[in-house]
Amino acid sequence: MSGMDVVIMAAGKGTRMKSRTPKVLHTLGGVPLIEHVIKVSKSLGARRQVVVVGHEASKVQAALAHHEDLMFALQEPQLGTGHALQSAAAHLPVLPNAGCTLVLSGDVPLIGLNTLQALVAASKEQHLTLLTLKTSSPQGYGRIVRTPNANRQVLGIVEEKDASPQERLIEEIYVGVMVIPNAHLHAWLAALNNNNAQQEYYLTDLVAMAVAAKLEVHTHACLDPNEVAGVNDPAQLAHLERAYQRNVAGQLMHAGARLADPARIDVRGEVVVGQDVEIDVGCVFEGRVVLGDGVKIGAHCVVSNAHLSADVVVKPFTHIQGESSAHLITVGEAAQLGPYARLRAGTVLGAEVHIGNFVEIKNSTLGVGSKANHLAYLGDSVVGDRVNVGAGSITANYDGANKHKTVIEDDVHVGSNSVLVAPVTIARGGTVGAGSVISKDTQAGALTLTRAKAASLAHWSRPQKKPTNPSSG
């Protein structure tokens, strides 16, 4: 398909979203609407991709700056879809017979690759071709007007606001996606006018022009209404989000994952699963998540940018917060996390590590079999194998200005409620007595503790409450 260019229209205001965010930057599956369209468009192998921006153009353009191969056309002011294409025309080839242009909308996120391939195939890159949908609720859409005879040839598209009561009964609609032969593109765009109910330049008027020039107009019918549904308001966005999530849940189950309820999972990114993965209800996955064979995720976990090795068990309400798909949190085989654990960026856990309730780990590595089961904080630490961190113990890694490192070597036991004041090293096999504040490096194998001597007063009588006077009320 070397001869195809794509124009993605994204200049409209999106008033009904009632939002400060431009419509095409609202997210679906964790990704801006227009990114879904760009992804499909890229898979088509187009020659050029032009995004028409207008309303909040700089915000939209900045959000798409990471795509090096996109071209932007500014449409200012926005005078309709035909005017949007006129604004993009400078980027499109002017040679006769130079392939075709596929027009997409930035706010129709679920448009499928197969559908677009079929549409372009139907156009043979040389016929004006419309993507259509049969629907019993055509309100608001352009209607496909055909000849009354048996040929049912396309005569034009009439917009809702310009349609006669008779035309409004037509249940075949234009969904906003068309293929235009480049041989006619520039001449047709130049001939558009705005003599219509909305005083806009309608791209849909190209159809009547093609018919007048006795050229064939083809249609390709899409069978899935969600694929061609546009996002105009928050309710439509939520509706499409559910459709998208049902789809992703279906793919996960197809890959063998067992979901407690496919309607109660949210994937805002990409989840890759091994065999025998189980996911309970209410979990949210963000960024890139890889779940090895036999991983079990309990209810209501949030897992972002993480690689969980085989047989990891994540108990309910655990939050795994990797910062980006380039920096995954990694968890070794058969580790157990939660309930109510929190792993932050830079966490690397070895096999069979246990992280229990209300334990926070940040930028730290824990070796094989180490455990922090209750109410602990490990930050900027390197923890060896078989270490046990007692309940309520923390690393004091921040002195108010800088972060410092804590090293806890193999086989150390840190007693409950201890503070390890970084920078500090607890040497191999050492024990820290409960309730200690350790600010100097300790000896291997030693018991180290800082603890006030207990004082005990015999026969101590506690203060008594004065009897209350009932009349004082």
Q: Does 157 bind ligand UD1 (CB under 6 A)?
A: yes
Question: Which amino acid is residue 54, in one-letter code?
Answer: G
Min separation Cβ 88 and ligand UD1, Å: 9
What is the rounded distance in angstroms from the CA atom of residue 129 to the CA atom of residue 288? 38
374 tagged catalytic: yes
Q: Are 393 and 414 in contact (CB under 8 A)?
A: yes
Strands, DSSP E only, in 147-291?
154-158, 172-181, 217-221, 258-259, 265-273, 278-279, 283-291
- Residue number with the smallest Cβ distance to ligand UD1: 142
Instruction: Looking at residues 303 to 362 of the shown chain, list those that interact with ligand UD1 (rule: CB under 6 A).
Output: none
Member of 17, 116, 129, 202 binding ligand UD1 (CB under 6 A)? 202
What distance in Å separates the CA atoms of residue 228 and residue 156, rounded to the nearest whole number?
A: 20
> Minimal distance in Å, beta carbon 108 to ligand UD1?
7
The answer to whether the bond into 109 is cis (omega within 30° of 0) is no
Sole binder of ligand UD1 in the list 6, 32, 40, 81 (CB under 6 A): 81
Binding ligand UD1 by CB under 6 A: which of 181, 230, 338, 390? 230
- Cα–Cα distance measured from residue 258 to residue 255, given in angstroms and rounded to the nearest whole number: 9
Tell me the C-alpha distance between 148 and 461, whole Å: 104
- Map tokens 């009561």 to a residue: 165
| Residue 90 φ then ψ, to 5° | -60, -25
Pick out residues in 160-189 that bind ligand UD1 (CB under 6 A).
173-176
Q: How far apart are CA 422 and CA 397, in angstroms?
A: 5
What's the maximum distance between 2 C-alpha atoms anywhere in the chain? 110
Nearer to ligand UD1, 156 or 332 (CB): 156
Q: Of the ranges 199-207, 272-280, 439-447, 453-461, which one interacts with ligand UD1 (CB under 6 A)?
A: 199-207
Ranges within 418-447 binding ligand UD1 (CB under 6 A): none
Beta bridge mates, 108: none
Total residues interacting with ligand UD1, rule: CB under 6 A: 28
Q: Of the candidates 305, 302, 121, 306, which has an alpha carbon nearest to the alpha carbon of residue 218? A: 121
Q: Which of 6, 32, 51, 78 binds ligand UD1 (CB under 6 A)?
A: 78
**Residue number with CB closer to ligand UD1 (81 or 418):** 81
How distant, in Å, are the alpha carbons of 350, 464, 471 from that of 468?
A: 60, 12, 9
CA-to-CA distance for 220 and 174, rounded, in angstroms?
Answer: 10
Which one among 204, 309, 395, 431 touches ligand UD1, defined by CB under 6 A? 204
Question: Which member of 374, 404, 413, 459 is catalytic?
Answer: 374
Q: Which stretch binds ligand UD1 (CB under 6 A): 7-15, 88-96, 318-326, 429-437?
A: 7-15
Least spacing, CB of residue 93 vs ligand UD1, in Å: 21
Is residue 142 within the footprint of ligand UD1 (CB under 6 A)? yes
Find the angle CA(327)-CA(428)-CA(400) to the nearest 5 degrees: 55
The contact mask relative to ligand UD1 for 19-58 (x = CB under 6 A, - = no) is ---------------------------------x-x----
The residues of the shown chain that bind ligand UD1, judged by CB under 6 A, are: 9-12, 52, 54, 75, 78-81, 83-84, 105-107, 141-142, 157, 159, 173-176, 202-204, 230
Active site residues: 374
